[in-house]
Amino acid sequence: MIQIEGITKIYQLGSVEVEALRGVSFRVDAGEFVTIQGPSGSGKSTLLHLLGCLDRPTSGTYMLEGTDAGALDDDGLAFLRNKRVGFVFQTFNLLPRLTALKNVEVPLIYSGVAGDERRARAHAVLGAVGLLPRSGHRPSELSGGEQQRVAIARALVNRPAILLADEPTGNLDSRAAEEIMALFEELNRSGTTLLVVTHNPSVAERARRTLRLQDGLLAKDEIVKHPKSGGTPQGEA
């Protein structure tokens, strides 16, 4: 499903070049649950943004479901991202003036989905994450865990094959974090491929595989022999 070979990413900051990724290679098969770990500055978020087609590598090859993402123009990347990838952020990134339902509908608007179908699909995914009774509430009227569920529903509404999450429990208390991780596990059991950036060992223990980055390099690619479920991941600082 995902195959990257020799991916590099260099940022130009004034006269200084910063190598965020320095030749990373791995593959992820359909249905895997993988965490990406490493210290701050190791390249975790950069890698996730490249996998989500939010940015382009400086060099190397990224194949997503057989499509060479590097060969696509901006419109092609946007189409691939919108149809095949869902993204969940630590800070939720909900539009404050819109209700939960309207927030979930936003990706469908960009996809050109008609109003009746948009509402039906948004209702369905809010129901799947247990938030249908709160669909008329704005983000300020929801708890942190509820806002993250809305963000997950928004990521799922286009029925992506891959869900990418960047520190998804980072702004949540332990109870809300547990609820979100249980939801991720349920999505993975239903066939969704998950890649989650985290520095929380309790979150990583629930995956089946961990990629560890260090200084822009893939330092380790480890199989988790006995993944845990139903633990209590603490909110990440």
Q: What is the pLDDT along the chain (237 residues), one digit of tens a residue?
A: 899 999 999 998 888 999 999 999 999 999 999 999 999 889 998 999 999 988 889 999 999 998 999 888 888 888 888 888 999 988 888 999 999 999 999 989 888 888 899 999 999 999 988 899 999 999 999 999 999 989 999 999 988 889 999 988 888 888 888 888 888 898 899 899 999 998 888 888 889 999 999 999 999 999 987 777 654 444 443
Q: Which CATH number fits the domain that encloses residue 84?
A: 3.40.50.300
Question: Is residue 110 included in any domain, yes or no?
Answer: yes
pLDDT of res. 146: 93
* Predicted structure pTM score: 0.85
| Residue-level pLDDT at 229 | 67
Domain contains 14:
no
DSSP structural state of residue 228 = -
Q: What integer pLDDT is reported at residue 233 of this predicted model?
A: 41
**Is position 113 within any domain?**
yes
Adjacency order of strands within the sheet including 209-214: 85-88, 162-166, 193-197, 33-37, 209-214, 217-223
Specify if 194 maps to a domain.
Answer: yes
What's the confidence (pLDDT) of residue 230? 52
Q: State the Cα–Cα distance between residues 13 and 160, nearest whole angstrom.
A: 34
CB 95 within 8 A of CB 103: yes
Domain membership of residue 231 (yes or no) is: no
Sign of CA dihedral 76, 77, 79, 83: positive
Predicted confidence at residue 51, as pLDDT, reads: 94
Answer whether residue 185 is part of any domain. Answer: yes
Query: Which domain covers residue 115, as residue numbers?
Result: 30-59+73-212+219-223
120 lies in a domain? Answer: yes
How many domains, in total, are found in the chain?
Answer: 1
